[in-house]
Structure 1
Amino acid sequence: MSLTTSIQDAGAVILVDNAGLPGFATEHGFALWVEADGMRLLFDTGQGGVLSANARRAGVRLALLDHLVLSHGHYDHTGGLEEVLHQSHNCMLHCHPGAVSPRYAIRNHDVRSVQMPREVMTVLDRFPQEQLHWVQRPVLLNKAVGLTGPIARKTVFEGSSGPFFLDQSGHRPDLFDDDLALWIRTDRGLVVCVGCAHAGLINTLMQAQRQNDGMRIYAVIGGFHLVNADRSRIDLTVQALQRFAPDLIVPCHCTGADAVAALRQAFGDRCRPGAAGMTFQLTGAAS
């Protein structure tokens, strides 16, 4: 996908995260509000318990939403879908067909469902089909905002994302074929937004660059899912990220304390751990 234009006006605010600024509620989940060149977009919805209240606190009107994107089908990214669609009737909804698959986390023989809540799937069944877009390839939302589509696995160190399976017996590993990311082409460079980066953070950044003629990565925001990663994978991720040399790194949600510490040591002030209520100006002169 070759683009020759970038937007001059874009900003974002984290609406759901495990951490929060004073006055913002928290939960295990992620949601990011993006305004880009007049387009209003919500990337994930958290579990649904704090999204609306945090949106009001941040001055975000969910009713004005143009596009809703689900990064993948876990409950902590899709649970607020019903509430969002109750407020916004005309938005376009984007997700991979695999987002509605049954999914389980299995640890020490403890089986826990982590799939999209059933009530949310019921809402999807009733949602106008002309507003529902099943994402199975790269998608352009406007002149300089797009979705990666399914992410190719290229790195050798970004393997399993954790003890996730498509069946309760643990015989079918969840490969997260539905995992996708959002990218924004700005005058500073490429901003990449990830939900959990189950396909691997570096795989995701490489794919976003391939779809944008190798444009430099200016910023990456979201969950990096390194919370259960060993030290070797964290170090390899940090080393690879250093080669991209982003100006802004905002680890959220599932990144994990050890990974955040490694990122802060490597990138200093360029790493700003995320929290609900944090806002970002993504265009204009770099600060």
Structure 2
Amino acid sequence: MDIAVVTGASSGLGKAFIEAIVARYRNLDEIWIIARREQRLRVLAERYCNPKTRIRVVPLDLTKTDAHERLIGLLKDERPDIRVLINNAGYEREGLLREMRSDDIRAMIDLNVTAVTMINRICLPYMRNGSFEVITGSVSSFAPIPWQTVYAASKAYVRFLARALHEEERTRGVNVMLFSPGNMDTEMNVRGAASGKLARLPYLDLHRETGKVLAKAERGCAEYTPLVFYKLYRLFAKLAPSALAVRVDSFETGGAGGGSTR
């Protein structure tokens, strides 16, 4: 059985990836959609299910260890070939670290770091030659960002993880690609609701970019950062002294904000 797996599937980028996968890969037997909000997943399953491809709803909160065990058990029972893995679940909050809720700090680390890592450990053994994974990173990983301290640090971890996995897996024909998006009109970053520097940054077209991401991952690309603005920012962050980059990057907002794609 050939399947695709999408985490953080209930809204935003995950939802756009589901739509792109349904349109692009007609030969898949199932698409497994994973998130904690079961009702939203069921609505998506009804919308995108077709006679050739079944949408399987897998409601899991990936911040919980028992969710990882349930996914391990499901894969062991079904023994599928994972042809496409979209490792997309993430959580973001902004604000001064000393003022943030402990639960938000832990959630960012549990989802952005631990869950992203464990999804790789759980799913990669079921991928084979020609399979590929997209790991959702962020342009926030390119340099330290005050007022987005934990989120940026967690995505820096993701960037290093993805690059190392790309090298580990390429010898057996499995591609791991890091996707580093900037502003997206999602629950985490609603267009018009952001303030300060964040509000002035360009937004991505989710539907156009997900198609590009899948095409690049198929071709074996290691990393993709969309839009010229964000490509130039990546170059700036690489060349500028960290003392300068951290001042330019500050997202001072005076309060916390953000959301999740769990």
| Greater fraction strand | 1
The TM-score range, normalised by the shorter chain, is 0.3 to 0.5
- Could you state the TM-score of these two structures normalised by the residue count of structure 1? 0.34
| Greater fraction helix | 2
